[in-house]
Amino acid sequence: MSPVAINFFRSIKTELDLNGPILSFSQQPTGIGSTVTGSVTLSGIATVSFTGISTPANVGVITYKWWEQGVGPLSDGTNITGTGTTQLTLSNLRSPQDNNRKFYLVADYAGSRAGSGSTGTGNALNEPLSSGIATVTVDPLIEIISFSGDASALTNQTRTFTIDASLTDTTYGDVSYQWTLNGVDVNDGVVAVTTTSSTTIPSKIEKTYSSDASLTLPSTATNVRLTVAGAAGGSGGSDAGGGGGAGSQGRVGNFPYASGARTLEFKIGRQGNSGSSGNQNAYGTGGASSYAKGGDGGGAGQNGWSGGGGGGGGASAVYDSVKGGYTIVAAGGGGGGGGSLNRGAQGPPNGIGVGLGFGRVRDAMSNGTSSPDSGDNGVTKNGDGGGGGGGGGGARPSNYPGSGGGGSSGQDNSSGGSGGNGGASGFDTRYASFNYDGYGNPGDGYINIVFDGTVDVPTTTTRRTTISGSKTPTLTLKADTVGVQTVTCRVTSSAATNRVGITSIANFAVLDNADSYVINIEQIGVGTTDYNVNVQNIDLFNGEYEFDLVPNAASSFYSFYSPDKDIQVEMDLYGGKGTNRGSNLGGEGGYSRIRFTMEKNVEYVIAGLSETIKAPFLYKKGTLLACVGAGGNAGTTNRGGFGGGVGVAGDRGRGGLPGTGGRTYDEGLLPNSGIFGSIYSSATAVSPDTKATGTSGGRVLPCPRGVYYRNQGFAACADVGTSVQFRLKDGTVASGTASITRGFKAGYSIIETGGLGSTNGGNGGHGAVGGAGGEQGSGGGGGSGYSNGQVDVISSILGGSDGVAKVVMRVVT
């Protein structure tokens, strides 16, 4: 058989260029770090090129797909977009979970026929083509997880501010801290800030004016007193052998004055000038006054040489803005007459400048009818004698034609001149009263005022703030001055994207000890373990505080103390109501109100606020101060008995065989041995303590023995130290409790005193002595209350508490 010829080179028509293009990347994605916003964009661009003799039309397209190394191809989603484009955007990146993620771009060429009669393009020879790998570096962020916030303290009492901050990726290292106080970076040590302020205090104010002035009195001005003095007249001039007359004194008066806001204007008179020896120009000029000036003296006689008259004194006056007029005028004195040859001159007819009444003060201004009246000039006659004195300035009363008349000159060379009259003084009785009849002033006028008012006293205060931990997560502050300061913390890291984290502003308030009643409360045994501790800081100034029953607690204590001072407090003790059974009610718990003084940094403990005990027991260190009883439980046929308040016995239950109520003991006479109630038959009693049997109730210990401290040899009532923390029954220190004077011993106090009900009878309530359990459906008895005599019992009753056990505390002021 002949072999068949095979043609390996058949001619098959095609429009494709079998020599397809080659893919390459003109832009490679590169590694990039995150921005503050936590978003990045990666870019990559591919191109094609052809080889060979012919270059077909490039009618294909390049397609893209982003891949993540170790994950695979990506799809658009919440935090990823652009997975099928040249740009991939990654959002909400976090460190460390998004750090060092690796991405690359895969390019593919989809060939295509160009059209009839043309050469098409085949697939790329090297497709698919992957780009280089781009690594995303996400720097960590500073996260402020928590900040303690505002804090208050008394003066010289420390308070701490804490911050919990870190990098989101701790492999980059730690953060640094810088605390600020009032906006300023601080270091450890003492910051002293001195401020100056003014304090308004009551004061007696006194001022004296010798020239015109005004004074505004405040509304608080009381006991106002004015002394107003007119000016004296000048002396007459002397001639040969004849002395001039003396000028008279100005008038002085002392006036109690109206209180209250007003502006007083003071017009001050000046003393008149003295005359000289000469012709008619030898007179003295009158004393100046902006109210009423003194008159000029008269000149010597025209035909000879004699002494001139002295000028009159100016008046002093008080203008009151409330009245809108003058209220007091003290007149000036008259000037003396001039002397003549061998003849002395005469003085004024009245020795003190009060023209009316010749020295006796009169009301020249009643009903506001007075007006200023300047003194008349002295008279100069044609003779050769001495000149007359000038009149004193004063007020013009309505019933008097004038005041301060000038004196006459002598008739001839052998006669001296006469002195001038003083002016008229007076006051308005609606604003002032006259204290006494006045006296003379030999010089210039003046006004003195004295009143009870207030003055601003500059006060310089230096506040010293002691700082520690300024560059740590915990800042401790103490200040010696009342006031509020602001606190922030700046957290930094060179590795972090956000570089700086700043807390919100917290206030450090330093309070006055007198207005603060701070109590620190340590709640121990919260939840299902004794080791849980919750610490509170309260101020009883803000209101009362309630110690509540702690549900689901294995055991629970409230340990509390006053860190700053002794505080007198009042407590309402509520025993818990017994359990109902059907329509039969549990007995009400006992109620009492007591008062006592909490001593500074001394431990006080409340036990029994649990669902199993339902009766509050109050201790001072290792001694039971007071307790009230819980109500008895109801039986199936009858109600339970009421619990007793402090010093009140418990009530029996109801029914045929009810439980008896717990008995009471006199103050301080509770026996030293305890008895567990029959409910707690499984308890282990330590001699000399015992366990009750049957339905009997037990008896509380006056001082808890504890477990750890008992094994350490401490007596039940003894203190355990002056600077110790609370210890649990196994000796474990309760973390976060304060180092104060303590004596309470946890783990063995025998507050479990209720009696066990039998045959559907109700259990007895716990108390100082527990109520007995009821039998055959009868109710259990209520527990009793007790005091050791170290508290004041304000009120105490049987029953009175129809809810859960609790204690309410308030300050007594």
Q: Could you report the per-residue pLDDT of 92-109, keeping only the tens digit for each?
A: 887 788 888 999 999 998
Q: What residue type is 746 in one-letter code?
A: A
Q: What is the pLDDT, as a whole number, of residue 512?
A: 74
Q: Could you report the per-residue pLDDT of 762-801, keeping only the tens digit for each?
A: 999 999 999 999 999 999 999 999 999 999 999 999 999 9
- For residue 541, give every residue at least 6 positions away whose Cβ sits within 8 Å of its Cβ, in sequence order, or none: 515, 516, 517, 811
Q: What residue type is 203 in one-letter code?
A: S
Q: What is the pLDDT, as a whole number, of residue 54?
A: 58
Write the secondary structure of 723-744 as one string of H (helix), E (strand) and C (coil): EECCECCCCCECCCCCCEEECC
Statement: residue 276 has pLDDT above 90: no
Write the secondary structure of 621-668 as one string of H (helix), E (strand) and C (coil): CCEEEEECCCCCCCCCCCCCCCCECCCCCCCCCCCCECCCCCCCCCCC
**CATH class for the region spanning 16-137:** mainly beta
Tokens representing residue 545 in the block: 């505080």
Domain boundaries, the chain: 16-137, 142-193+465-510, 233-248+266-447
Q: What is the pLDDT, as a whole number, of residue 353?
A: 39
- State mean pLDDT over 642-654: 97
| CA-angle at 460, arms to 457 and 462, nearest 5° | 155
- State mean pLDDT over 746-770: 97
pLDDT band at 362 (very low <50, low <70, confident <90, very high): very low
- State mean pLDDT over 243-264: 89
- For residue 382, give every residue at least 6 positions away whose Cβ sits within 8 Å of its Cβ, in sequence order, or none: 301, 302, 303
Closest C-alpha among 98, 106, 82 to residue 136:
98
Q: Could you report the per-residue pLDDT of 379-406, keeping only the tens digit for each?
A: 766 556 666 666 777 777 644 433 445 5
Statement: residue 115 has pLDDT above 60: no
Length of the chain: 813
* Region of poorest pLDDT, from 42-51, 78-87, 801-810: 42-51
Q: Could you report the per-residue pLDDT of 347-358, keeping only the tens digit for each?
A: 666 544 333 323
Is the model more confident about 811 or about 281?
811
Q: Are 312 and 334 in contact (CB under 8 A)?
A: yes
User: CA-CA distance, 746 to 743, in Å (whole number)?
Assistant: 10
User: CA-CA distance, 98 to 109, in Å (whole number)?
Assistant: 32
Q: What is the pLDDT, as a whole number, of residue 370?
A: 64
Q: What is the pLDDT, as a whole number, of residue 791?
A: 97
Q: Is 431 left (phi over 0), alpha (psi -120 to 50) or beta?
A: alpha
pLDDT band at 551 (very low <50, low <70, confident <90, very high): confident
Q: Could you report the per-residue pLDDT of 575-631, keeping only the tens digit for each?
A: 999 999 999 999 999 999 999 999 999 999 999 999 999 999 999 999 999 999 999
Same-fold call for 16-137 versus 142-193+465-510: yes
Statement: residue 524 has pLDDT above 60: yes
HSE of 703, CA atoms in CB hemisphere, 13 A: 18
Our CA dihedral for 214, 217, 221, 225, rounded to 10 degrees, sits at: 20
Q: What is the pLDDT, as a whole number, of residue 569?
A: 97
Is the model more confident about 666 or about 281?
666
- State mean pLDDT over 444-457: 91
Percentage with pLDDT > 90 across the chain: 52
Statement: residue 301 has pLDDT above 50: yes
Q: Is the peptide bond before 128 cis (omega within 30 degrees of 0)?
A: yes
Write the secondary structure of 211-267 as one string of H (helix), E (strand) and C (coil): CCEEEEECCCCEEEEEEEECCCCCCCCCECCECCCCCCEEEEEEEEECCCCEEEEEE
Q: What is the pLDDT, as a whole number, of residue 604?
A: 98
Closest C-alpha among 313, 158, 289 to residue 234:
313
Q: What is the pLDDT, as a whole number, of residue 11?
A: 44
Tokens representing residue 737 in the block: 């409790």
* Residues paired with residue 41 on neighbouring β-strands, in sequence order: 89
Q: Could you report the per-residue pLDDT of 307-349, keeping only the tens digit for each?
A: 888 888 999 999 999 999 998 888 888 887 776 766 666 666 6
User: CA-CA distance, 447 to 553, in Å (whole number)?
Assistant: 83
Statement: residue 531 has pLDDT above 70: no
Q: What is the pLDDT, as a whole number, of residue 572?
A: 97
Q: What is the pLDDT, as a whole number, of residue 33?
A: 53
User: CA-CA distance, 98 to 172, in Å (whole number)?
Assistant: 14
Q: What is the pLDDT, as a whole number, of residue 554?
A: 52
Q: What is the pLDDT, as a whole number, of residue 595?
A: 96
φ/ψ (deg, to 5) at 450: -130, 135
Q: What is the pLDDT, as a whole number, of residue 552?
A: 65
Superfamily (CATH) of domain 142-193+465-510: Immunoglobulins (2.60.40.10)
Statement: residue 2 has pLDDT above 70: no
Neighbours of 457 (CB within 10 A): 11
Is the model more confident about 24 or about 598?
598
* Region of poorest pLDDT, from 135-139, 183-187, 312-316, 767-771: 135-139
User: CA-CA distance, 577 to 589, in Å (whole number)?
Assistant: 5
- For residue 774, give every residue at least 6 positions away whose Cβ sits within 8 Å of its Cβ, in sequence order, or none: 632, 633, 635, 638, 640, 653, 655, 657, 658, 659, 695, 757, 758, 761, 762, 764, 780, 781
Q: Are 308 and 410 in contact (CB under 8 A)?
A: no
Looking at every residue in the chain, the average pLDDT score rounds to: 85
Residue with tokens 């007696």: 204
